[in-house]
Amino acid sequence: MHKNTDNKILGSKLDAVSKSLKKSIKNLDSYTHVRGESLYVDDVNIRQGTFHAVVFDSPKAHGKIKSIDYSKAEALQGVERIFTYKDVPGENEIGGIIPDEPLFAEHEVHFWGMPIALIVAESEFIARKARDLISIDIEELPVITTAKEAKAKGSFINAPRSFSLGDTEKAFADCDYIFEGETFSNGQEHLYIEAQGAYAEPLENGNIKITSSTQGPTAVQKTVAQVLGVAMHKIEVDVTRLGGGFGGKEDQATPWAVMAALATFHLNQSVKLILNRHDDLRMTGKRHPYESTYKIGLTKDLKILAYQSEFLQNSGAAADLSPAIAERTLFHATNSYYVPNVTTKVLSCKTNLPPNTAFRGFGGPQGMFVIESAIAKAAHEIGVSPRAIQEANLLDENDTFSYGQIAKKVEAKNTWHSAKQLFNIEAMEQEVSEFNKNNTAFKKGLSFMPITFGISFTNTPMNHARALVHIYLDGSIGVSTAAVEMGQGVNTKMMQIVADVFSVSIEHIKIETTNTTRVANTSPSAASSTADLNGKATLMACTALLERLKSVASQDLNVSENSITLNKEFVYVNGKKSELSWTSLISSAMLKRVALTENAHYATPEIHFDKTKEKGHPFAYHVYGTAITTATIDCTRGTYEFDAVKIVHDYGKSMSEGIDLGQVEGALIQGIGWMTMEEIAYNKDGRLLSNALSTYKVPDIFSVPKTVEVIPVETEGNDMAILKSKAVGEPPLMYGIGAYFALQNAIKAFNPNYDLKFHAPMTPEKVLMGLYKK
């Protein structure tokens, strides 16, 4: 679907396209993936006698547990034991930010799908059969499913947060236009291809090894230790790779690993727990639905002078990562715009849904959707193109974000104007208006979507990583970091760094599994920061080893250290190849008893944030970009297609064109899915209705835009990014927001009386209602 950019369109601008993008390396995993040889949790060679586990979960969203009868299940042949909260030797508590989440329900249940017990049996089949034999009596309590209801009842996770800049109240008095409204964006199912799972095995002395499909090995280790009441060093967590995470395994891979470990702890036998798709959909949290209100004030020349919004986050039944996600919503509430007077507030509303969690963008997309809605509303009422308002307010160098950070190396205008020029916006608009003039049964719409996304964990103390690099005596290299490979290609990037520093071919390098005994106290692989943080640590470790090797070479060749470089597996002196090869150099270092192992620690410099003032400099840098989306709607059916999404994206100096383009395309489609088709539905009793892929529609190959064009903008990159290649994981998801507004503009072309609604996803049903609503 990616089309190489036509040289004619680019013309002389081609030179402006980043030259470094020529560098292209295949994703390391591509070979084993296509051969079906890549290893996941379910592929672990299980020990003889391994038990299999299934979770028994609540069949009601809220209530008091009156009684549970396990006797029939326990009597089933092949059932080993059923574990409940009574079997927890340490704390029955898994909450990461706030301790408000039991591993197993004790006397009350708070969401439909809340774990109550773990059935351990000889086979998964038997455990499932046993689950059907458990009877439970629950006295039902009132169920809250929406954030608004929770707010009305005063049901919150924690205290609200609020950011402000300037004097919003006063500024509204100076505005020529003021508009208010409300928006809704729904949740989103992660739908990682590999469901949640873990395999626990007993080692000697009560130690336990866990293979987990987690983005956060340390979170698993810490929580297992806490629940079992043992020290962290008794627990080893190992991760080879995940079949996708998208944030769904940042916190919510933990309970399953803990349960498997708990059973192993008691039985001294290996235990495997892998959720099937239905259990996973029902028991795990998703992207947070948000109900929000906005007030936007503009001057006659379309400058946004004041902006106010209140975000109601549907957090679900426990905090999970909700407070951090709420915070990121505030950080991105003004997207790519400079607004001098801003007041934003977020309330994490406690409901009886599964605890909602991290999902690519981490609350940022929800915040951006609201200001884009406010701009669309203002444009509609004033009678200008939304684009005119967007363009008049783009962020500039040295503008201040509402959280106090000063914008530097801003590419908002650059990507915007490059997109207009490179994609020939006049021709695109002409085509849309001609089409709309000549067609009644079909209409086209076009939208612009600029993005600005902050890179770093918003929680400053999480921004660190380590790398452990061994050079073995034959010259081969083993690299361990905290980075978890989940399909994003981070292992390939780590390998590139090592190959670059030592100038050796990738055949010499192995990226090890992510393991808490080799790299400890890690942050999860999240926040788009994994390659930056772990890459910087890897670079530091390799550079320290290189210095040592240069010293060895200078002794062997009797030349100064400064004259030495490594090039294609040979030592060069003053740029000239010597006889000393990489492998001979390593042998020599061994004979000289030089340490060939290095451990490095990287902590992002400069960042800080003061929560008491809600001001600081939380992000190492920002990623920018602009997408132009065109859509065609079928005005008889309400169905639609995306003709094209054309993007100018700020990759910095990409390390790998293929991998980064894959991230942009994947994120874009995931964003379009969230905005246009993926419809999470719970009934008012809190039961998930969209509980299978027959009722939860995700984008397939037919819903992908006919053209996706991504042009890298020439930027210097950023020193805080690894090798000046900017983080790419999350930012492009937000291009998908443009899909909503392209559809909305197409509806307006058909029905000029359309009363704008900001209620995502924009499903065909909603398009149809918009087309014919008077």
DSSP 176-239: SEEEEEEEEE-------SSPSEEEEEE-GGG-EEEEE--S-HHHHHHHHHHHHT--GGGEEEEE
DSSP reduced 3-state for 587: helix
CB of 458 to ligand LUZ, least distance (A): 4
112: contact with ligand MOS by CB under 6 A: no
Write down the residue that tokens 């351990």 correspond to.
120
Sorted by sequence, the CB contacts under 8 Å of residue 70 that are 6+ apart come out as 82, 117, 134
Quick one: DSSP state of residue 337? Answer: B
358: contact with ligand MOS by CB under 6 A: yes
215: contact with ligand MOS by CB under 6 A: yes
250: contact with ligand MOS by CB under 6 A: yes
User: Which residues ranging from 515 to 534 are in contact with ligand MOS (CB under 6 A)?
Assistant: 526-527
Span of 71-79, 320-328, 595-603, 757-765 interacting with ligand LUZ by CB under 6 A:
320-328
Nearer to ligand LUZ, 255 or 686 (CB): 255
Nearer to ligand LUZ, 315 or 458 (CB): 458
- The tokens for 508 are 């010499």
628: contact with ligand LUZ by CB under 6 A: no
CA separation for the pair 448, 389 (Å, rounded): 11
User: Within a 13 Å sphere around the CA of 143, how many CA atoms are in the beta-carbon half?
Assistant: 21
Residue 181 amino acid letter:
G
Residue least distant from ligand MOS (Cβ): 247
DSSP reduced 3-state for 682: strand
Quick one: DSSP state of residue 2? Answer: B
Task: Using CB under 6 A, pick the residue from 129, 209, 360, 536 that binds ligand MOS.
Answer: 360
CA separation for the pair 244, 190 (Å, rounded): 9
118: contact with ligand LUZ by CB under 6 A: no
Would you tell me the crossing angle of helices 530-557 and 490-502 to the nearest 10 degrees? 20
Q: Which does 328 bind (CB under 5 to 8 A by kind): ligand MOS, ligand LUZ, none?
A: ligand LUZ
CB of 319 to ligand MOS, least distance (A): 16
Q: Is 730 a catalytic residue?
A: yes
Exactly one of 411, 429, 730, 765 is catalytic; name it: 730
669: contact with ligand MOS by CB under 6 A: no
User: Which residues ranging from 352 to 371 are in contact with ligand LUZ (CB under 6 A)?
Assistant: 358, 362
User: Within a 13 Å sphere around the CA of 192, how many CA atoms are in the beta-carbon half?
Assistant: 31
- If binding means CB under 6 A, how many residues of this protein chain bind ligand LUZ? 12
User: Which residues ranging from 229 to 248 are in contact with ligand LUZ (CB under 6 A)?
Assistant: 247
DSSP reduced 3-state for 488: coil
Span of 30-38, 117-125, 359-367, 743-751 interacting with ligand MOS by CB under 6 A:
359-367
CA separation for the pair 227, 223 (Å, rounded): 6
Q: Which does 92 bind (CB under 5 to 8 A by kind): ligand MOS, ligand LUZ, none?
A: none
Q: Which does 359 bind (CB under 5 to 8 A by kind): ligand LUZ, ligand MOS, none?
A: ligand MOS
Q: Which does 553 bind (CB under 5 to 8 A by kind): ligand LUZ, ligand MOS, none?
A: none
457: contact with ligand LUZ by CB under 6 A: yes
CA separation for the pair 340, 306 (Å, rounded): 7
Which of 95, 136, 163, 138 is CA-nearest to residue 316? 95
User: Which residues ranging from 247 to 266 are in contact with ligand LUZ (CB under 6 A)?
Assistant: 247, 250
CB of 266 to ligand MOS, least distance (A): 31
526: contact with ligand LUZ by CB under 6 A: yes
- The tokens for 53 are 């586990």
Nearer to ligand MOS, 263 or 526 (CB): 526
Task: Using CB under 6 A, pick the residue from 96, 113, 243, 247 that binds ligand MOS.
Answer: 247
Nearer to ligand MOS, 358 or 580 (CB): 358
CB of 216 to ligand LUZ, least distance (A): 9
Q: Would you say 624 and 415 are in contact if contact means Cβ atoms under 8 Å apart? A: yes
Residue 139 β-bridge partners: 64
Which of 370, 58, 358, 373 is CA-nearest to residue 187? 358
Nearer to ligand MOS, 444 or 622 (CB): 622
- The tokens for 749 are 């072309």
CA separation for the pair 200, 273 (Å, rounded): 9
Task: Using CB under 6 A, pick the residue from 186, 352, 405, 458 that binds ligand LUZ.
Answer: 458
- SS3 assignment for 652-671: ECCCCHHHHHHHHHHHHHHH
Nearer to ligand LUZ, 321 or 501 (CB): 321
CB of 218 to ligand LUZ, least distance (A): 12
DSSP 134-171: -EEEEEE-----SHHHHHHTT-BSS--EEEEES-HHHH
CA separation for the pair 436, 439 (Å, rounded): 5
Task: Using CB under 6 A, pick the residue from 172, 184, 294, 362 that binds ligand MOS.
Answer: 362
Span of 120-128, 357-365, 463-471, 629-637 interacting with ligand MOS by CB under 6 A:
357-365
Nearer to ligand LUZ, 201 or 650 (CB): 650
b/e burial code for range 525-536 (CB count within 10 A of at least 16 → b) = bbbbbbbbbbbb
- The tokens for 622 are 């920002």
226: contact with ligand LUZ by CB under 6 A: no
Task: Using CB under 6 A, pick the residue from 129, 272, 328, 377 that binds ligand LUZ.
Answer: 328
User: Which residues ranging from 724 to 763 are in contact with ligand MOS (CB under 6 A)?
Assistant: 730
Q: Which does 584 bind (CB under 5 to 8 A by kind): ligand MOS, ligand LUZ, none?
A: none
Nearer to ligand LUZ, 673 or 729 (CB): 729
CA separation for the pair 757, 390 (Å, rounded): 19
Q: Would you say 698 and 634 are in contact if contact means Cβ atoms under 8 Å apart? A: no
Q: Would you say 757 and 766 are in contact if contact means Cβ atoms under 8 Å apart? A: yes
702 to 731: interface string for ligand MOS, x by CB under 6 A: ----------------------------x-
Task: Using CB under 6 A, pick the residue from 94, 259, 305, 324 that binds ligand LUZ.
Answer: 324
DSSP reduced 3-state for 608: strand
627: contact with ligand LUZ by CB under 6 A: no
- 761 cis-preceded (ω within 30 degrees of 0): yes
- The tokens for 84 are 């409940």
- For the annotated catalytic residues, the residue numbers are 730
Residues that bind ligand MOS (CB under 6 A): 215, 247, 250, 358-360, 362, 526-527, 730
Interface residues with ligand LUZ (CB under 6 A) are 247, 250, 321, 324, 328, 358, 362, 457-459, 526-527
